Structure formats: structure tokens, C-alpha cells
Amino acid sequence: MVGNRYTNERMITETTPPRDPWRTVWKIATGDYSLTVLLVAIAAGLVIAAWLPQMPSSGPAAYSQWLSKTQARFGDATSVLQTLGLFTVTRSPGFRLLVALLAGCLVLRLLEIADRLWRYRKMEAPAGRWQTLGNGNQSDVTDVTDVIDDIRHLRYRVLRDPPLVQADRWPWADLFVLLYHGGGLLFLIGLLITHTWGWRVEGLIVQRGQRITLPYADNWVALDDDLKLTHSPTIVTVLEERGPGVQASAVNSAGDHLPLQPTTEADPVTRLTLALTEDQYFAIPEANMIIRLSPQPGDAADGNAPVLVQVYQSPAGRLITETAIEGDAELKVDDVTLQLISIPYARLTAVSNPGRWPTILSIPLLVVGLLGNTVWPARRFWLRDQDGTIEGLGHLPPTLTGEQDA
């Protein structure tokens, strides 16, 4: 007896085919567990990126503004969070690797689903353990024809190859799965195109009547006289804020224009345009005056937000006069006439998103696929008449297994 058992075990070992490592890798790569882990990890990264202010990459001015706000919010923890890479989550190699793995997973799953959709147009050989329908009570289900009529009323497709009967929801149920996998892959393709060829400029300042050319393929943004933002058709702009701005000039009693200097290193100009994102200063050297312009709380949408104008004597620093203005104004100090023309500004973000069309197209595919799969999930099962007893295998409806009655 021992010898026979040894012989049987040896025969089983010799006849059992070795496992294919590539098939194992394929099952892992296309498995639901791998997809779930990748989606959860990417979702966690996006939540962190939405909660923590991400570091801009558009320029030093935007970085300085971001850093000041971030340090005010997190204090000493800012350097620690920055070292951990939590301010550059979506640009980190780890996050990009997760997205690349997700794209690869979706490609493999899409190939598998497409192959399954093609194969399932015909009857498949069942594999698994058969179970008796109707809780094992032969009186419950005895006629396979009646069962076929019942499952057809449930809108199943029925294929027959006596003694086997296959019922499934092909093609729509499998097509819904194909749709949301294809939509997810198309969404990632749109992100890849945008990341590769797109760009983003934050903290861009444009004033009324001004047109700014961006350093990317001759794109431009402008603010017209009605304070309406316009831009080249290939980009999208996001308005961040509006505020007051001025064009300053000064003349003496003889009507001659006086030179103005915003800094000691700057070249003198007769007209100076300033966006009042914060307090701004400029000097009138020939009159020994320093002008301070301070934006005040108010609505800047119409260009008439109040501005506090303070004139100081240089170099003593004595305040000569101050007044609040709205819109255009003319201020006379001694023999100098200061002319201020209101030129409001808009701070905006300009974005080029060449992958927006694949991304937009992916949304309906995802929605239709996910909703369809929820309402009409893929189901496939087989029936057979085994010596007068109806047996089933696969995703059997509760009406056949008797679970609904229980």
C-alpha cells in the first residue's frame, strides 16, 4: 500500500505541468489587488497634494510668495515637510512611477478584457465545481427548459451545446468593463501629454491695456480697457485676484516732466506703471520727494479701488501730505503736480493643456463604464442535466441557487 501511494504521488508529480512564471507575473499585474493598491496609493498622493500647498515651478517670484505663505502656515515644520517631498508630490519620481505602473496595469487589463470579449462571443468550456440547483431538492428545478426561459427573462444570453447550457450578459457587461478601463487609460494619456508638452505660469501680472507675450510658442495674455481677460486660443487662464494699479507721472510748475525712479538702481523714466500688489514706492529726485502708494481694502473689479498716497520729504523722511484716491487723480504738492492714472491689474495663472481632449473624452467613458458595470455587472454560468438533476457552475443567480428564498 505504501508503495502504491508512492507510485501514485510520483505519477502526479511527473504529469503535473510546471508553473509558468510569466503567467504568474501576468496574473499579478492584471489582478484586482494590484489595481486597488495602485489606485489607493495615487489617491493618497493626490489628497496630500490637495491639502498641502505645492511648490510652484514657474519662477522665483511665485516661489517666494509660496514660501512666505507656507512658512506662515506651518512654521518650523516647513523645512521638514519640504525635505520629505510633500510639497512636490505630483512631481516626485515615486508618484510618477505609480502613475506609470497604473498605466501599464490598465494596458494589460485592457488587452485581457478585449481578448475575453472576443473569446466569449462563443461558448466557453466550464471549469470549476458543479452544484445542484434548488438547494439540492430535485423537485425544485427539474426541467432545464424552464430554467432557460427564466434566465432569458432576466436578459441573459443563452448558448446551448447539449448537455451544456451557457448563460451570460455578453456583450454589454464585458463592454462596460472595457469602457471604464479604456477611459482610465485615456485619462492617463492626457495627463502624460500635458506633462510632456504642457506648461504652467503662476502669479502672472497684467494691467489694463497691456498685452504680455509668454515664453512658450508665442502665446499671450491681455487685459483690455473693459478689464476683460483675453488670451491666445491654445491656453487657459485662471484669474487669481484683481487689484489697483497706477501710471504715475510728475510735472513741475513750468510743465516739464520730472524723472521718476522706483529704485536707486533703476533708470529714471517720466512715466511709471505700478501694479499695487503691495505697497509701492518711487522717488522724484529733482523735487526731493518719495511717494508711497498703499492699496486699501475695496472692490478692484471696476478699477476704482482706493489707494492711499503719501508724499515724504527726502532725505528727512518727513510726511508732507497724504490722501486716499479712487480712480484717476491729480495731486499738487508745492510746485510739483503728481498725476496718477488708474490702471488696475489682474493676477492670473496661464496653463497650456495639450492633453485636455483625451482627458475630456475619458470622462464620459469612465462614467458610462462604471455606471454600466454597477447596474449590469458581468455574469457567466453554465447548466447541465446530470441524470435528471440540474446542476450549475459559475455566477449563478440567487433564483437558481435558492438563496433568495432563504
Task: Report the C-alpha gap between 353 and 52 in whole angstroms.
Answer: 23
Confidence of residue 90 (pLDDT cuts 50, 70, 90): confident
Residue 124's pLDDT is 86
CB 200 within 8 A of CB 58: yes
Distance CA 272, CA 281 (A): 11
Confidence class for position 142, pLDDT limits 50, 70, 90: low
In single-letter form, the type of residue at position 314 comes to S
Per-residue pLDDT band for 321 (boundaries 50, 70, 90) equals very high
Helix or strand holding residue 47 (H, E): helix 32-51
Length of the chain in terms of residues written: 406
Work out the pLDDT band at 128, boundaries 50, 70, 90. confident
pLDDT category, 1, cuts 50, 70, 90? very low
* Burial (Cβ within 10 Å: 0-12, 13-18, ≥19) of residue 284: buried
Sole residue written with cell 471696476: 302
pLDDT in tens, 153-184: 888 999 988 888 999 998 899 999 999 999 99
| pLDDT bucket at 44, cuts 50 / 70 / 90 | very high
The pLDDT of residue 87 is above 50: yes
Distance CA 337, CA 321 (A): 13
Lookup: cell for 328: 484717476
Q: Can you read off the three cell numbers belonging to residue 402? A: 435558492
User: What per-residue confidence (pLDDT) applies to 299?
Assistant: 67
| Contacts of 266 by beta carbon, 8 Å cutoff, 6+ apart | none
* HSE-up (13 A, CA, CB side) for residue 91: 10
Nearest to 227 by CA among 215, 212, 244: 244
- Region 211-223: mean pLDDT is 88
What pLDDT, on a 0 to 100 scale, did the predictor assign at position 332? Answer: 93
Which band of pLDDT confidence, cut at 50, 70 and 90, is reported for residue 402? low
Judged by average pLDDT, the poorest of 70-84, 124-138, 265-279 is 124-138
Cell of 396: 449563478
pLDDT tens sequence across 250-278? 999 888 999 999 998 889 999 999 999 88
Q: Residue 249: enclosing H or E segment and its boundaries?
A: strand 245-251
Res 220 pLDDT > 90 = yes
Give pLDDT tens digits for 334-390. Answer: 899 999 999 999 999 999 989 999 999 999 999 999 999 999 898 899 998 877 788
Rounded mean pLDDT, 193-209: 88
Cis peptide before 171 (omega within 30 of 0): yes
Q: What is the value of pTM for the model shown?
A: 0.70
Q: Which residue has the higher pLDDT, 134 or 346?
A: 346
**Percent of the chain topping pLDDT 70:** 90
Q: Is the pLDDT of residue 13 over 70?
A: no
Question: Which residues are paired to 383 by β-bridges?
Answer: 165, 392
Go through the domains of the chain in sequence order and give each one's CATH number. Answer: 122-169+379-406 (3.30.310), 199-351 (no CATH)
Return the number of other C-beta atoms located less than 10 Å from residue 380's C-beta: 20
Answer yes or no: is pLDDT of 301 > 70.
Answer: no
Instruction: Please state, in angstroms and rounded to a whole number, the distance separating the CA atoms of residues 179 and 390.
Output: 35
How far is it, in rounded angstroms, from Cα 52 to Cα 46?
10
The whole-number pLDDT of residue 105 equals 93
Q: Which residues are paired to 295 by β-bridges? A: 307
